[in-house]
């Protein structure tokens, strides 16, 4: 009797050990599949995050850069009203809240605007503030995908901006006399030339030089640009929907996998005992 009991006592652990080994083998066998599910889940999450950020990164459609004493109460005011009447979200510096750091806030608005409209006027280059603002705009154009810079040559010729001649040449002579940082001045020159080389508008090319018609043409250009960029940015949104669907399918497959795996595991434990 004692021998029989001893035999059964040693046999049971041996049987359980075999079942345990089979369970461990099953876990090892399915580990690549489990690893794939985890990696795929992380991949989908990263794609969703980046696509969502890309689709929603612009705060404003348009940022207006201008020399206040030249155009604030005239052309710039008329253009901003026309853009808003066309339902184009436009930022002008008078929208800044009091008590904020003006430069840092302006830079944030530049970064958050899809299109930077630079209104060149005779005294634009006299202002270090305007030139630094232009440099920020041009850096954003280099660094931000989809950023558009649209120059307007209000009462200056594009060649004056490009070559820093006329009123722009005089402004730079004054900057050099004030012992400005030569590296910064050199960067201003490069940015002016780069901006002047971009496609924009000049009132001299408008019939009868009528400001109303010129503004209408500018607004038409901006609308065309925003429609084009909206089509481009809608593509990530479409892909986002596809990735969301795939993500849900992946989550469902993961649930089914774990349910089958652990239900089989619980059955084996039950049989063992």
pLDDT-derived band at 258 (thresholds 50, 70, 90) equals low
64 in Cβ contact with 113 (< 8 Å): no
Sorted by sequence, the CB contacts under 8 Å of residue 247 that are 6+ apart come out as 41, 44, 45, 48
Task: Report pLDDT digits (tens) over 106-123.
Answer: 999 999 999 999 999 999
Confidence of residue 55 (pLDDT cuts 50, 70, 90): very low
Q: Is the pLDDT of residue 181 over 80?
A: yes
Q: Tell me, which fold does domain 58-205 have in CATH?
A: Rossmann fold (3.40.50)
Q: What is the mean pLDDT of residues 128-155?
A: 96
Q: Which of 103, 102, 133 is nearest to 118 (CA)?
A: 133
Task: Give me the chain's average pLDDT, please.
Answer: 79
pLDDT number for residue 209:
79
pLDDT category at 77 given cuts 50, 70, 90 is very high
* 70-79, 167-176, 235-244, 252-261: segment of lowest average pLDDT: 235-244
**Nearest partner of 116 among 189, 222, 28, 10, judged by Cα:** 222
Does 250 or 232 have the greater pLDDT score? 250
Beta-carbon contacts of residue 255 (< 8 Å; ≥ 6 apart): none
How confident is the model over 251-262, as a mean pLDDT? Answer: 60
pLDDT(11) > 50:
no
Would you call 241 exposed, middle or buried from its count of C-beta atoms within 10 A (0-12, 13-18, 19+)? exposed
Res. 29: pLDDT tops 60: no
Confidence of residue 145 (pLDDT cuts 50, 70, 90): very high
pLDDT at 270: 52
Position 157 pLDDT exceeds 90: yes
Q: What is the pLDDT at residue 44?
A: 56
What confidence category does residue 88 fall into, taking pLDDT thresholds of 50, 70 and 90?
A: very high
Q: Pick the residue with more confidence: 26 or 78? A: 78
Report the sign of the C-alpha dihedral through residues 127, 133, 101, 76, in that order. Answer: positive
Whether the per-residue pLDDT at 12 is higher than 60: the answer is no
In this prediction, residue 7 has a pLDDT band, given cuts at 50, 70 and 90, of very low
Catalytic center residues: 133
pLDDT in tens, 192-246: 999 999 999 999 887 677 899 999 999 999 999 988 755 454 444 444 555 566 5
What's the per-residue H, E or C state across 68-93? HHHHHHHHHHHHHHHHHHCCCCEECH
To the nearest whole percent, how much of the chain has pLDDT over 70?
61
Average pLDDT over residues 155-164: 96
Q: Taking a C-beta distance cutoff of 8 angstroms, is the pair 138, 198 a contact?
A: no
């Amino acid at each position: 009797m004692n021998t029989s009991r001893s035999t059964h006592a040693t046999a049971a652990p041996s049987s359980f050990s075999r079942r345990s080994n089979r369970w461990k083998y099953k876990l090892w066998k399915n580990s690549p599949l489990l690893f794939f599910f985890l990696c795929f889940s992380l991949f989908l999450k990263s794609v969703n995050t980046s696509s969502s950020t890309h689709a929603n990164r612009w705060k404003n459609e348009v940022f207006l850069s201008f020399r206040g004493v030249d155009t604030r109460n005239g052309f710039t005011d008329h253009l901003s009203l026309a853009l808003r009447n066309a339902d184009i979200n436009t930022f002008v510096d008078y929208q800044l809240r009091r008590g904020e750091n003006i430069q840092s806030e302006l830079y944030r608005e530049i970064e958050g605007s899809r299109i930077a409209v630079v209104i060149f006027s005779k005294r634009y280059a006299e202002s270090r503030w305007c030139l630094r603002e232009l440099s920020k705009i041009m850096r954003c154009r280099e660094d931000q995908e989809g950023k558009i810079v649209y120059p307007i040559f209000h009462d200056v010729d594009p060649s004056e901006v490009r070559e820093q001649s006329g009123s722009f040449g005089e402004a730079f002579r004054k900057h050099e006399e004030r012992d400005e940082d030569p590296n910064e001045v050199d960067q201003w020159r490069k940015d002016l030339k780069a901006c002047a080389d971009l496609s924009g508008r000049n009132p001299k090319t408008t019939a009868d030089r009528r400001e109303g018609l010129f503004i209408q043409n500018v607004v038409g250009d901006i609308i065309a640009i925003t429609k084009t960029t909206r089509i481009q940015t809608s593509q990530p949104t479409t892909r986002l929907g596809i990735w969301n669907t795939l993500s849900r399918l992946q989550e469902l497959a993961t649930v089914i996998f774990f349910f089958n795996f652990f239900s089989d595991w619980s059955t084996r434990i039950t049989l063992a005992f």
